[in-house]
């Protein structure tokens, strides 16, 4: 990866962090001036803002993100996180073929390197791959320093681009959707757009397939981006139920590569997401 690009991006990232910490001296000064209530108010305001922007997946406070499809009409997009999986990926690909649905697979770099044939099979069947970090540090990703964030995102991009040089990822999704104030900056510098979702059933933590499907059905509408996972105890069952739901909904799931996201459309999505 371009070392000059890395250095420039990390420099801007640390500047962002420094600016985010700039209220700290003001808080200290207010305490010193004998205004603890004002200091507490400022501290709580900054902390709340940072927490919401970091831990609420669809909050675009720290950068643009895609939360719905740009086109009007009857399209939806199925996205599948956390693969490839040696058992689930082949089964899910067969299910998608049967329902004639194309999906966007957000892959983990280390897992892709272990199963390169599955990555190529995903693309050969008309689907698209996305960047889901190199090691998927779901519990800590939001608190990683810029240099480690760069390694996670750039490392996955390098891994997937090496496996499929003609079809490198266009989109990035952070683990669990958690991101901090420099995640979008780093993704954008690597030519990636951060994509979240508008319909999910929490299949990463729940195992009740009908309940998962009902949750997705409630938010399934034109322009929806649907999220399901591989690597869970019910991954294949959820994939079957959700693809059946999509097939019966009348919505079309075209190849993700046919979706052209322009800069102005991403801005509209940021404002208009439900």
Q: Which residues are catalytic?
A: 81, 229
Q: What is the 3-state secondary structure (H, E, C) of 224-264?
A: CEEEEECCCCCHHHHHHHHHHHHHHHCCECCCHHHCCCCHH
- Report yes or no: 81 and 230 within 8 Å, Cβ to Cβ: yes
Alpha-carbon torsion (271, 274, 199, 138), positive or negative: positive
For residue 29, what is the enclosing H or E element?
Answer: helix 23-32
3-state SS assignment for residue 271: helix
Q: Please give the torsion angle defined by the CA atoms of residues 27, 29, 33 and 36, in that order, rounded to the nearest 10 degrees.
A: 10
- Answer left, alpha or beta for residue 221, where phi above 0 means left and psi between -120 and 50 means alpha: beta
Neighbour tally for 228: CB within 10 Å: 28
Distance CA 42, CA 36 (A): 10
Distance CA 3, CA 184 (A): 19
DSSP at 71: S
What's the token pair of residue 243?
A: 């693809």
Nearest to 269 by CA among 56, 69, 30, 4: 69
């Amino acid at each position: 990866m371009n070392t000059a690009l890395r250095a420039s991006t990390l420099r801007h990232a640390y500047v962002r962090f420094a600016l985010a910490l700039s209220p700290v001296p003001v808080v200290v000064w207010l305490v010193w001036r004998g205004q603890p209530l004002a200091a507490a108010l400022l501290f709580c305001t900054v902390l709340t803002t940072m927490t919401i922007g970091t831990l609420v997946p669809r909050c675009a406070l720290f950068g643009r993100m895609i939360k719905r499809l740009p086109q009007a009409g009857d399209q939806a997009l199925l996205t599948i996180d956390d693969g490839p999986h040696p058992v689930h990926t082949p089964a899910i690909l067969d299910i998608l073929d049967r329902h004639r649905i194309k999906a966007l697979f957000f892959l983990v770099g280390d897992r892709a390197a272990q199963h390169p044939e599955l990555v190529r099979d995903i693309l050969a069947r008309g689907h698209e791959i996305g960047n889901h970090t190199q090691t998927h540090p779901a519990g800590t990703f939001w608190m990683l320093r810029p240099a480690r964030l760069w390694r996670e995102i750039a490392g996955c991009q390098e891994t997937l681009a090496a496996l499929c040089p003609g079809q490198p990822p266009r989109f990035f999704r952070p683990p669990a959707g958690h991101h901090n104030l420099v995640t979008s900056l780093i993704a954008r510098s690597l030519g990636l757009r951060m994509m979240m979702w508008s319909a999910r059933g929490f299949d990463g933590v729940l195992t009740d397939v009908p309940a998962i499907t009902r949750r997705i059905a409630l938010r399934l509408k034109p322009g929806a981006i649907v999220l399901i996972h591989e690597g869970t105890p019910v991954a294949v069952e959820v994939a079957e139920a959700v693809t059946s739901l999509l097939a019966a909904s009348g919505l079309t799931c075209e190849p993700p590569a046919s979706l052209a996201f322009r800069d102005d459309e991403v801005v509209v999505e940021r404002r208009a997401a439900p």
